[in-house]
Amino acid sequence: MITPFLILCAGAIGLKWLAQIWLEWLNQRHVRRHAGEVPPAFANTITPENYAKSVAYTLAKSRFDMIELTWGAIVLAGVLFSGFLPWFRHTFQHAAGSSIWADAGCLVAAGALLSALDLPFEWHEQFHLEERFGFNTTTAATWWLDRVKGLLLALALGYPVLVLILKLVGWLGAGWWFWAWVCVALIQLALMVVAPVLILPLFNKFTPLEPGELRDGLLALGRRAGFRARDIQVMDGSKRSRHSNAFFTGLGRFRKIVLFDTLLRQLDRGELESVLAHEIGHYKKGHIPKTIALSLGGGLLGFYILSVLARQPWFLGGFGFAPGEMAPALLLFALLAGVVTFWLSPLFHGMSRRHEYEADAFAAGLLQQRQPLISALRKLNEQNLSNLTPHPLYSGFYYSHPTLLEREAALGAVEAPEAPEAKMEDGG
């Protein structure tokens, strides 16, 4: 039966799809308009060949995204409105019973099935798109092994959590959502602490940066910033891709600064120091607790909304489920949350971009110069074929980092004394 709520859901899915396709189209047009010549700010630093390549890469990725977004919307609408979900649950219950253990299993199975529908796209992206632009280094064996490991991890972590949530509903009644949030938040925090030592090594090899000038320099920089690090880890990012990166992970004693091996090959010592200074900036400016607090707050709100929705007959009934059933409510909530959170992404990405500016400014202050960071950012953008001219609305929605041009402009405004070497030269 078609209810106003179902029409609202269909409208929300359609509206999100339209907005995403429009953003891709807007961005493609913007990039094509600037494709003729290297943006003046980078005329001397980026070769016309590499610029043309970055334009081609951006356009190819965007065209692929349009197809993938459309497929995602079709699958979501198909799954929600065809009666597939009640049928799937019924079939699953027929085979496994209707205990909480079976219900949680049904949710995991539905999740696995839905992500399997994305596999052809992930495959194409890695072995055709990334391959064409020279980024792919993954073998088919690694790719499949990653998927299997991901599935096992989702089972090992997700299944017990789902059982716990469903049990809490039975034990606590109306107030379940708060305690479910407390449990999930504690598990999330525990995972953040142990992920660097227990989960990340399942996918990549981490080795301490070898002793030498580079390591000494980086550790000395850490000490100067009041950031005690026992070592710097190098991750074999080259196992999957030529893209390069650096990140900060873990909490407390298990925190790690990780540099991709690809990054070590692309940057010189001064540039690597500036990257480390930037990562320390995130730590010193308290970005990690802020991000965690935001995510926990979002989780609390999510559980509350879920508890309210689960009580509404039109929510479950609209999709063909009996009222008051928590497992289907969880599934529907997970499927539909994205059509709402999408509209909040400019807010979250705006905060993330503000953090990047703060970390850049911190790095410039710590190093007493901005040139190494600017040069590192330029190299990274060129090597990764980053889009130098995204449409502002597109970057507003999707970019967790400001563009190269924006970062350079912001660094130019930072009050950091220029390099001591340069001053000595000036003085003769």
**Interaction pattern, residues 298-337, with Zn ion; x per rule: CB under 5 A:** ----------------------------------------
Q: Could you tell me the smallest distance in angstroms from the CB atom of residue 383 to Zn ion?
A: 17
* Range 352-411, binding Zn ion (CB under 5 A): 356, 359
Interatomic CA distance for residues 117 and 115, integer angstroms = 5
Interatomic CA distance for residues 330 and 180, integer angstroms = 12
Specify the residue, 24 or 279, whose C-beta has the smaller distance to Zn ion. Answer: 279
Cα pseudo-dihedral 365, 346, 299, 116, rounded to 10: -110
Specify the residue, 271 or 356, whose C-beta has the smaller distance to Zn ion. Answer: 356
Q: Could you tell me the smallest distance in angstroms from the CB atom of residue 282 to Zn ion?
A: 6
Site size with Zn ion, rule: CB under 5 A: 2
Q: Could you tell me the smallest distance in angstroms from the CB atom of residue 260 to Zn ion?
A: 14
DSSP-derived secondary structure for 395-412:
HHHH-SS--HHHHHHHHH
Applying CB under 5 A, the span of 22-30, 351-359, 373-381, 405-413 interacting with Zn ion comes to 351-359
Specify the residue, 177 or 283, whose C-beta has the smaller distance to Zn ion. Answer: 283
Specify the residue, 196 or 328, whose C-beta has the smaller distance to Zn ion. Answer: 196
Catalytic residue of the set 65, 360, 382, 408: 360
Is 209 exposed, middle or buried (CB count within 10 Å of its CB: 0-12, 13-18, 19+)? Answer: middle
Applying CB under 5 A, the span of 301-309, 311-319, 339-347, 348-356 interacting with Zn ion comes to 348-356
Interatomic CA distance for residues 195 and 271, integer angstroms = 28
Q: Could you tell me the smallest distance in angstroms from the CB atom of residue 206 to Zn ion?
A: 20
Cα pseudo-dihedral 389, 394, 400, 404, rounded to 10: 10
Interatomic CA distance for residues 252 and 331, integer angstroms = 34
Specify the residue, 229 or 359, whose C-beta has the smaller distance to Zn ion. Answer: 359
Cβ neighbour number for residue 395 with a 10 Å cutoff? 22
User: What is the longest distance spanned by two Cα atoms in the chain?
Assistant: 86
Does residue 131 carry a catalytic annotation?
Answer: no
Catalytic residue of the set 65, 103, 273, 279: 279
Q: Could you tell me the smallest distance in angstroms from the CB atom of residue 396 to Zn ion?
A: 18
Specify the residue, 107 or 359, whose C-beta has the smaller distance to Zn ion. Answer: 359
Q: Could you tell me the smallest distance in angstroms from the CB atom of residue 70 to Zn ion?
A: 32
User: Are the CB atoms for 282 and 387 separated by under 8 Å?
Assistant: no
CA distances, 92 to each of 7, 112, 133, 222, 399 (Å): 28, 14, 43, 54, 40
SS3 34: coil
Does residue 146 carry a catalytic annotation?
Answer: no
User: Which strand (E) or helix (H) includes residue 277?
Assistant: helix 269-284
Cβ neighbour number for residue 72 with a 10 Å cutoff? 19
For Zn ion, the binding residues (CB under 5 A) are 356, 359
The catalytic site residues sit at 279, 360
